[in-house]
Structures are given as C-alpha cells and as structure tokens.
Chains A and B, each alone.
Chain A
C-alpha cells in the first residue's frame, strides 16, 4: 500500500523567511512524487515533480529515498505563496495518485 504523510496541517511564516513543507511516503517500489498547490478560490495545479528536477516559483524538492521524504523548500517565502500544498505519490503503471492531507502555508507580511 502507498501512503503519504504531511505532518503539519498549518505552517505560518513571515515574508522572507525560509519555508520547508514536509512530506514522507511509504511505498515498496520506486515512486513518482509530486507537489500540487491550491491557491485560494483556484483549482488544484501541479507545482513540481521530482523527475523533472525543476525549480518552480522558487520552490524545490529533493527525493530522499533513504529517508523516504520529498520535502518542499523555498529560501525566501512571499505572500503570494500562501496556499494549500499537497504532496502526492504514484506507483506508476496502472496505479493512481495518493495525496497527503495537505499543509496550509500562510505567509504574513
């Protein structure tokens, strides 16, 4: 079975502070990991996925297979980063996405 854990329901930081949203997973094979974001009154959208190794809107995430983690990081938070962030895992093939429960990020001025 695949499982995604996001231990923080809410993360509140000040503008300019570093941000790290934690994600841990449980999966016996080689997973594909994703971060999705949902801004207020907008639909869920892909932020980044580990296979692309991109930096999107200043966010990065590194897959650590030893620690089974895929934490999302940004060195300097902006107010427009305030949103709900979901970590998700796919086992590939005919599997589906399993989402974590989400972390609400609030960036205060």
Chain B
C-alpha cells in the first residue's frame, strides 16, 4: 500500500526555469510533510517542510504547496540551478508537531535534472 506517491520518476528542466515536483498521499491522518534531497552516494538531506495547518511554505528558492482536499503537495524550485540536480523524496508523518521523529513515509522519489 503506497501511501505516498510520486508519479514522475524523472524531470528535466532548463537552468533558470521553474521545477515543479509533485506528490500525492492517501492517508488523511498525515499532518506533516517534508521534502528531502538525495545526491548519489550521500544520505537524504532535509530541504523544506509544511504543516497541514498551512497551504504554503517558502524558503529561498524553494516553496512547498499543500492542497489537503486533493491530498496533493508540490515543491517549486525557482530559479532552477544545475546544483539542484538530485533525487527528491516527498515524505509524510502523522504525529504532528509532537512527532519524536523517525517514522516517515516516503514516496519513490523524482530524479530532477537541471540542464545548463
């Protein structure tokens, strides 16, 4: 049962343009969502998160949007840079702000390639 889905295994964009990575979830009990980035031969690194009480969170070039009614979230990267090329994982948890951390449900990942 894939509770978090990233339906696009790969995405290619031109440097300077917008990258949009999508994620869908099925469990309405999820109330915290995170994006992680992973380079080859490295562990995933935290990028940005959003609580279910919000519909948007920004951090520099990265913005995450949450549509709870559609159970959908997206990560926007503007402008995209070649250094952003990596695998991006969407993750969800169901313990909210009191989460002790650890049990995240990950999507399959989307490999982003930013062409110079």
**A and B are partners in one complex rather than unrelated chains:** no
